[in-house]
Each structure stands twice: as C-alpha cells, then as structure tokens.
A and B are shown apart, each in its own frame.
Chain A
Amino acid sequence: MKLELRGITKRFPGVVANRDVDLIVQAGEIHALLGENGAGKSTLMNVLYGLYRPDDGEILIDDRVVAFDGPGDAIDAGIGMVHQHFMLVPVFTVTENVMLGVETTRGPLGQLDRRAARERIVEISERHGLHIDPDATVEDLPVGVRQRVEIIKTLYRQSNVLILDEPSAVLTPQETEDLFAVMRSLVATGTSIVFITHKLNEVLEVADRITVLRRGTVAGTTTPAEANREELAAMMVGRDVQLVVDRTPAQPGEPILEVRDLVVRDERGHNAVNHLDLTVRAGEILAIAGVQGNGQSELVEAITGLREPDAGDVLLAGQPLADTPRDVFEAGVAHVPEDRMEDGLIADFTVADNLVLNSYWQPPFASGLRLHGEAIVSNAETLVGEYDIRTPSIFNPVGNLSGGNQQKVIAAREFSRPIKLIVAAQPTRGLDVGSIEYIHRRIVAKRDEGAAVLIVSSELDEVVALGDRIAVMYRGRIVDTLSPEEATPERLGLLMGGAHPEDGEPVDLVGTAPAAGSEPSDG
C-alpha cells in the first residue's frame, strides 16, 4: 500500500509543529523519519493516525484522498501504530490486549471468543517469528516482548502501513537487531513501515529511504547509500556538529561515593537494585550503561534520598549519606533527575524561583520565615548569564522554555555551588545536539574541578563520550566495568543484554554471589 502526505500543516497555540510536510512511503519499503526531539515527527504521525486533525494538507492512500476522524478510521484504512509509550493495558492478557477494539465474538450479546483470537495470534506470531505467550499478562512481560505485542496488535488488524515511533528507545542492541529482522520480514510481505527515530546508525542500517525533519519542515530526503552519519546529523540540526567531547584523561583522587551491598526494592517488591557495589572517585566520571528498567532509576533515587534502601550502605567521603533529599543536598550532592519536568522543575514557577528550589531556605535567599526577593532575582540574573539560559525573562514560567534551556536551569541550580558529587540521570534525554554538547562540557568541567560524577544513561554514545570508566547495569547489578577503550558497542550491547563478561553466558541471576568483575577496582 502506498501512502502519501501532501502539504501537511499542524499548528498548536504558539507553535507550528508541522509546516507543509510532504512524505511518500512506497509499498514494501522501510521509510525512516529522522529528526531531533521536537522536530515534529510524533505530531506528523499522530496526524496520520487520526489522533490530530491537520490544519492544512491531505493524506492519500494508493493515490486516493482519505480523511480520518479518529484512530478507528486510520485502523480501518490499514494503518497501524506502535506508540513510543506502549498502549497496552497492563492487567490484561496478551490476547485481550490484541483483540481490544476488534473483538472476535460469538452470540448476540458479544460474548468474547478468546479461543479464536488466541489461535489467530499464535498464527501471526509464528508467521513473523514474533514469539509470544498469548495467555501471559502484559505487566509480567519484559519491554521487548511488550513491543512484540504491539506489533502483533497492528498485524491482527491487517495493517498495511506500520508506524514505529522510536521503537528502539527501550531495547537492548540485541533486541533492536531482532526488531530489525522482524521489520525486514514484514516489508518482504508487502507491508510498508514508517520508522521514527533520532538514532543515525539505525537509520543507516535498516531504512530504504530517509526523510529528515527539522523544526517541523522536511529538511531533505535521501537513501542510506547516498548519505553518511555526519551528513544526516548536519541535516537534522542544520549545521555541522561535533559528536565527541573534548577532554583530558581523568585524575582520580579519593573515593567520594561508595555504595556497598545496596538493595533497593521497587513498588512491586522486587529487588530492583540487587546487592550492588560501586565506587566513584574525586575527579572521575563513572558512567552506568544499561537498558532502561534495570534498576538505574532506583539506584539514583536511593543515593539521592528519594527512596529508602532496603539494605546496604551509601557513603559520601566515608560518611553515611543522610536519608532525606535535603540532607543529601546539604552534604554536597548535585542531582540532575531523570525526568526534568516531573522531578527537576516546577513548570508553573518562574525561572528565578526554580533556580533556588534547592536552597531557598538558606541565606542569602531567606532569613527566618522571610524570603529575600532581591537575592533570588540577582542570583537568577547571574546564573542565566553564566549558563546561557535562553529565556525572555527570569520571571517566565520555566515550563515555557525549550527542553535544552530547562536542563540548563537544572544544571545552573545544581552546579553553581561547592559540590563533591554529581548524580545525573539521562542528563541529555530529549535535547537538541547543541544543548547536549553544552551539558556535556559543563559536566566535564565539574569533573576537572574535582567533583566525582555518576552518570546514568541509556544512550551508548553518551556513555562512551563521557565515562572515564563505564559500568554496565543489568537486573539490579553491575555486571562489568570497562575502560572507554574496551567499551565497544558490541561488547556493551552483550553486557546490557545480560551476557556474562567472561564466557558470554547469561549471568547467574539466582545465586547470591555477585557476578565476577562487578567490583570496581579499588586501587
């Protein structure tokens, strides 16, 4: 099935998300839609899927104009979408999730025919090599398998065009390879795929054709044969970019952060962090790589006082780290949280107020019960200049700033005081290349001033670019620690997928002994 978008324009109050976008997807091709976060990829696909109504332009299927009033119409027209955030009901089984909306029923009252649906799911999964247990409850399945459920959902609806929105964001490199194999098998049977991503390597590996979006408009269309990484990156951001961070070798000093035999449970009572040990020294960056959901968030929350550990110790410069986030802050720890809008900033507060969120109760910002407005304002004016925060005024709500500038507000707040340790989780998630460079430079500068830095990131590029040592976390443990030279993508990928550092076998997850090599060298 051929799909064409012609002159699509979509405006939101104050922004034009898509401006006059043309896109042609031929039958049986993988068409990559490449662009930075905020370039308008998801908006465009939501228009195509009937979730948004375009302000201008038309959608053509096999050269006939169609209009979608909702996702139901798009599904009927043969379009299937795998959303970046999975649209699965956690407490339902695979079968229930797949059949929802197109239920097979028997009898006049719409009695569900689970058996018939189940058989079709088994048949589809066998045809495309998507191994799945149709009776499993979705909340018990790992992320990679949930994605398979989403793909089966679209195939069950006999979709001819499949939209994959950032499908590799939550996968290990090996799971990504499996996904690509499935994608190739699908296009071989005539399905078309729109593959949305911001990862250059993946585009070059799997796409037949590439369309690059920049600030809501098409920056160009090309093929992997004609393009290379650097050209695509330049098309995405509109200028030549530097993909490596300039820095000198680390000069590690005294141990600053020591985590010993730490156990942290998640909401469901599982050991998200499972007897983990690590050490970060002054003047070095320890980067933790790993697929999302392997306990990184819980580890960071335990260190920063946001979650109570169930066992083990966290030491800062040899002293036990206090329990509350405020004590942790006062001990000299900077925290760049994973979700900046949820945990880092208060969207409706001004830039100035957000810059003192972690210190407003102290002089010079307050004495007794009284806040000192002038001190808060002058602090904000200094930091906005120093950290190059682009905002119309320090009194603007921080929620109106771009993601990059929001992250700069957090960096300015956290780094502009004497600190011993930086804990940064996904510090550049969703940022444009310019902001990524900026944040990376700031982190390296703090390291050079003697701070210990712990970075948690699911982006391999970031881990390799920043880490003086690179630890891989898998199912709540550090399975191995590598030097940047040792950390090839293949090796990291295997470790992230749970392969044993020595013999390539999966790590023993049942035994209580930590995997070999889990100890950071203590000198």
Chain B
Amino acid sequence: MTAAPAAPVMTRAERRLRTRQRILGVVYLLLAVGMVLAFGVSVGGDASSSFGLTAPTAPIALPNLVVPSATTAYLLAAVVAFAGAVQLTRGFGTRWAVVLGLVAFAFVFAFLTWVAAGQSMNLTGLLETTVQRSVPIAFGALSGVLCERAGVVNIAIEGMLLSGAFVSAVVASAFDNPWLGMLAAILVGGLLAALLAVLAIRYRVDQIIAGFFINILVAGLTAFLSVRLLQPYQNELNTPERLGPIAIPFLSDIPVLGPVLFRHNIFVYLLFGLIIVIHLGLFYTRWGLRVRAVGEHPKAADTVGVNVYWVRYSNVIMGGMVAGLGGAFFTIGSTGGFEREMTAGRGYIGLAAMIFGGWNPIGGFLAALVFGFADAIQSRLSILSIAIPSEFLLMVPYVVTIIVVAGLVGRARAPAADGKPYVKE
C-alpha cells in the first residue's frame, strides 16, 4: 500500500456535475433542432416578421423592426446549437447560468418571430403588458423579502393580495374614493400579517400551516361576501373608481422605455419606490443590518441587544401592508370590480420570484418581470390567432414558475433562520 500520488481523481460529485452539464448540452441541441423545425421550416421562406417599437403618434417615432422570419429562426437556432456543442464538450464552468439565460432569450425571440411571421407585433406593447402583469407578483416578492429576511416564512401573501383586492374595491366604491380603498387594503394586509405574526412568533404554529390557514380563510370569506354582498349591491360596493395612468413628463416620451416604464398608474411608481427604499434599507442601514441578523442568527442578534421579536413582528406586519397594497392593484389599479379568486396564485408566484431573486428586492423585481413576461405573452398570443390552444397558453406563467422553482431554487440560499421560531431561553 504505497502512497501513489493519485492522477486527478474525479470524485462522485464531480462526475454528477459533468453528467448534469452533458444533459444540459443535449437539451440545448434538441432545442436547436426543435427551433429549426417549429419556427423555421414551418414558415414560408420569404415571410418576414415586423415588430412595432413606437406608436405612430409618439413624439419620437421609430421605424418598425422587420426581420426575415425563417432566417432569423435558423440564425438563433445556430446560436443555441453552438452553445449546446460547447456545453457538451467543454462546459461553461461557472458561467453556465449566463449561457442558460442567453439560450432562453434566443428561444423566446425565435418564438416571437414565428408568431409574428407574415404580420406585425407590437413589441413595446408586449413589454408594457409585462410590467403591468409583474406588478402584483413584484409586490408579493417584496412582501416575502421583508418577512423572510427577518426569518418568518409568509405563504399567506396570496391571501393578503386577495384581501387587498376585495377591501380596496369595496371601500373605494362605498366612499367613492380610490385612495381610501388603497389605504384600507394596506390596513387589511397589515392586520392579516399581525395574525400570522402572532401565530408564528408568539404561539410558534408551523408557519406554512398558519399561512395556509389565512389563505383559505380569505379565499372563503371573499367568495362568500362576493356572492352575498357584492352581487346584490354591485353598483354601490363593486364599482370602484380606478386610478388611471400618470405619464411622467419627458421620461414618458423616450421611445420604447417611456411607455414601458413611465406611463403607468401610481401602483407601479409606488412599487419602484418601495423596491429602492427597501433595498437601500436592508443593505445600507442599521435597521437592515438588524433585520438580516435576526433572519440569519437570531440568538446572535439577541446577545448583542437586538429585540428579535420586535424585529420579526414589525417586519411581518410591514410585509403584510406591502402585500395588501399589491392586492389593491388587481381592482382599483387594473380591472375595477372584484371577482372571486382573482389573484389566481400570484402570491405564490411572488414567493417563487423572491426565491429566484435571491431574497433581494431588486432580484425579486427582475424575477417578477420574467413571470410577468410569460403572462404577457400568454395574453398577447390569445389575441393573435396562432395554432396553440388557449388552454395551453393559460398554463404558461405556471409552467415557467414550476421550471424556475424546480431548476434554480435548490441553489438559492435562504436566510439561515428562515421559518424557524426563536425561543428565548
């Protein structure tokens, strides 16, 4: 048994990593073949796709972006195939995630080219819808960041969104004032969060179960009240005034960016503001340092005199208020009247966005944009007549959620004390 210095031994973990890389490479190659067949061969050779960038009436008008449909698809497929080949042979090392993003982008753009083959598609409109659709998801993610950074899992975001939607519609209608509706939604979100906080922090109820309890409570209560109260008194209680878009001077005139970012209602600007404030707060202030310490190692925070319970209560309640505000967007910020279960799982998608975004406000917003984009494509495509059944289109946002949660969440690093009750000795 002489000690032979081993030739580079490949450990099991390394072998697993190599295998995973190869699988990814094969998937890219298959994707490239699929793109050629589905988006290239199926369209006529001389068809072209036209993407609208600005409205004809815009102060600064840009010409439409016109590309040959099939050629574009072949080109993008070639890029994906190249990525697949490299992935299979050499691997991209730590840059695999960037490459994955590029491949996803190439695929989506090829898809859009195919959809728009022989016709025109309003790209700016698509992006504008993306921002719209991502607003409640981003509010949900932000709420989750506030709660989980302090160590409390808030799965009740869905219920808080729904309650905010309901209460803001009713209050705004009853008092004829959308601002009061917004305020009421914030209060109700905060109240539900206080309930969650007491259950989770004071009584140490399992946080997932406590959150689910709130979701079921809100779903049942709003459905019941909707039938008993809103339907008989539709005009009095469920026709709120909506908060209209505010175009920000100058900024809203920038081509593409203007309509996409600066021609929305107050909710979107509040969202932008909250993202920046919470991000700066979490990472650059005393408050944030203490919140993160409580979420990572509450006992360490306690031993240096930080009041763990106070931090957790206040953060959960703030998180609830943010979610309530996000809920109001569904009614007074968007469609107007309340409908049963109109949030349709956006709270859960918001949690997925929070995880995807690494428990970080800006990351959560970017992730929400990905989900919002999936949602926007779905709604755009159901207007254009294409050969995909609408049931499948409706699945898109949820499928994207599942892929993201299954594929990336395992790598994300949650606050270490997330979901663990703190027991003072």
Binding site for B on A (CB under 8 A): 46, 49, 51-52, 70-72, 75, 81, 83, 87-92, 96-97, 99-103, 105, 109-112, 153, 260-261, 263, 265, 269, 275, 277, 308, 310-311, 511-514, 518-519, 522
Complex-state Cα separation, A153 to B6, whole angstroms: 44
CB distance from B45 to the nearest CB of A (A): 51
Q: What chain B residues lie within 8 Å of A277 (beta carbons)?
A: 1, 3
A263 to chain B: closest residue by CB: B11
Complex-state Cα separation, A263 to B15, whole angstroms: 14
A105 to chain B: closest residue by CB: B286
Determine whether B174 belongs to the interface, using a CB cutoff of 8 Å to chain A.
Answer: no
* Contacting pair B304 A75 (CB below 8 A): yes
* Contacting pair B12 A311 (CB below 8 A): yes
* Contacting pair B13 A269 (CB below 8 A): yes
Determine whether B225 belongs to the interface, using a CB cutoff of 8 Å to chain A.
Answer: no
Chain B 185-201 interface 0/1 with A at a Cβ cutoff of 8 Å (1 = within): 00000000000000000
CB distance from A491 to the nearest CB of B (A): 22
Would you give 10 A-B contacts (Cβ < 8 Å), ordered by A?
A49-B303, A75-B304, A87-B299, A89-B293, A89-B301, A90-B296, A91-B416, A92-B293, A100-B306, A310-B12
* Contacting pair A518 B425 (CB below 8 A): no
Q: Known: A90-B296, A92-B293. Is A102-B285 also a contact (CB below 8 A)?
A: no
Interface hub of A90, A100, A110, A308 (most chain B Cβ within 10 A): A100
B1 to chain A: closest residue by CB: A522
Interface hub of B1, B297, B300, B425 (most chain A Cβ within 10 A): B300
* Contacting pair A92 B285 (CB below 8 A): no
Q: What chain B residues lie within 8 Å of A263 (beta carbons)?
A: 9, 11
* Contacting pair A111 B284 (CB below 8 A): yes
Determine whether B86 belongs to the interface, using a CB cutoff of 8 Å to chain A.
Answer: no
Q: Known: A88-B297, A310-B12. Is A110-B285 also a contact (CB below 8 A)?
A: yes
Q: What chain A residues lie within 8 Å of B3 (beta carbons)?
A: 277, 513-514, 518-519
B11 to chain A: closest residue by CB: A310
CB distance from B33 to the nearest CB of A (A): 34
Binding site for A on B (CB under 8 A): 1, 3, 5-6, 9, 11-13, 281, 284-287, 289-290, 292-293, 296-297, 299-306, 416, 425
* Contacting pair B293 A109 (CB below 8 A): no
CB distance from B80 to the nearest CB of A (A): 30
Complex-state Cα separation, A427 to B36, whole angstroms: 65
Complex-state Cα separation, A101 to B287, whole angstroms: 10
* Contacting pair A101 B425 (CB below 8 A): no
* Contacting pair B305 A70 (CB below 8 A): yes
Query: Main SS of chain B's interface residues?
Result: helix
Q: What chain B residues lie within 8 Å of A105 (beta carbons)?
A: 285-286
Q: What chain B residues lie within 8 Å of A90 (beta carbons)?
A: 296-297, 416
Complex-state Cα separation, A522 to B9, whole angstroms: 25
CB distance from A453 to the nearest CB of B (A): 21
CB distance from B350 to the nearest CB of A (A): 24
* Contacting pair B304 A311 (CB below 8 A): no
* Contacting pair A111 B285 (CB below 8 A): yes
Complex-state Cα separation, A522 to B1, whole angstroms: 8
Q: What chain A residues lie within 8 Å of B287 (beta carbons)?
A: 110
CB distance from A240 to the nearest CB of B (A): 36
CB distance from B111 to the nearest CB of A (A): 37
* Contacting pair A100 B304 (CB below 8 A): yes
B424 to chain A: closest residue by CB: A51
Complex-state Cα separation, A100 to B9, whole angstroms: 44
Complex-state Cα separation, A102 to B286, whole angstroms: 9
* Contacting pair B285 A83 (CB below 8 A): no
B6 to chain A: closest residue by CB: A512
B302 to chain A: closest residue by CB: A71
Complex-state Cα separation, A315 to B299, whole angstroms: 43
**Sample of 19 more A-B contacts, CB < 8 Å, known A75-B305, A275-B9:** A71-B302, A75-B304, A81-B303, A83-B303, A89-B293, A89-B297, A89-B301, A92-B293, A92-B296, A99-B289, A100-B293, A100-B300, A100-B304, A101-B290, A101-B301, A112-B284, A112-B285, A263-B11, A511-B5
* Contacting pair A91 B303 (CB below 8 A): no
* Contacting pair A91 B12 (CB below 8 A): no
Complex-state Cα separation, A227 to B299, whole angstroms: 38
Complex-state Cα separation, A137 to B9, whole angstroms: 30
Complex-state Cα separation, A214 to B289, whole angstroms: 41
Complex-state Cα separation, A513 to B7, whole angstroms: 10
CB distance from A63 to the nearest CB of B (A): 25
Q: Known: A72-B305, A101-B305, A261-B6. Is A112-B300 also a contact (CB below 8 A)?
A: no
CB distance from A132 to the nearest CB of B (A): 18
* 10 A-B pairs with least C-beta separation: A72-B305, A101-B304, A310-B11, A110-B286, A87-B300, A103-B286, A513-B5, A512-B5, A89-B297, A89-B296
A51 to chain B: closest residue by CB: B425
A101 to chain B: closest residue by CB: B304
Q: What chain B residues lie within 8 Å of A308 (beta carbons)?
A: 12
Q: What chain B residues lie within 8 Å of A102 (beta carbons)?
A: 304
* Contacting pair B13 A265 (CB below 8 A): yes
Q: What chain A residues lie within 8 Å of B301 (beta carbons)?
A: 89, 100-101
B290 to chain A: closest residue by CB: A100
B305 to chain A: closest residue by CB: A72
* Contacting pair A87 B13 (CB below 8 A): no
Q: What chain B residues lie within 8 Å of A52 (beta carbons)?
A: 425
Q: What chain A residues lie within 8 Å of B13 (beta carbons)?
A: 265, 269, 310
B3 to chain A: closest residue by CB: A514
Q: What chain B residues lie within 8 Å of A72 (beta carbons)?
A: 305
Complex-state Cα separation, A512 to B11, whole angstroms: 14
B299 to chain A: closest residue by CB: A87
Q: What chain B residues lie within 8 Å of A260 (beta carbons)?
A: 1
B296 to chain A: closest residue by CB: A89
Q: Known: A75-B305, A100-B304. Is A519-B285 also a contact (CB below 8 A)?
A: no
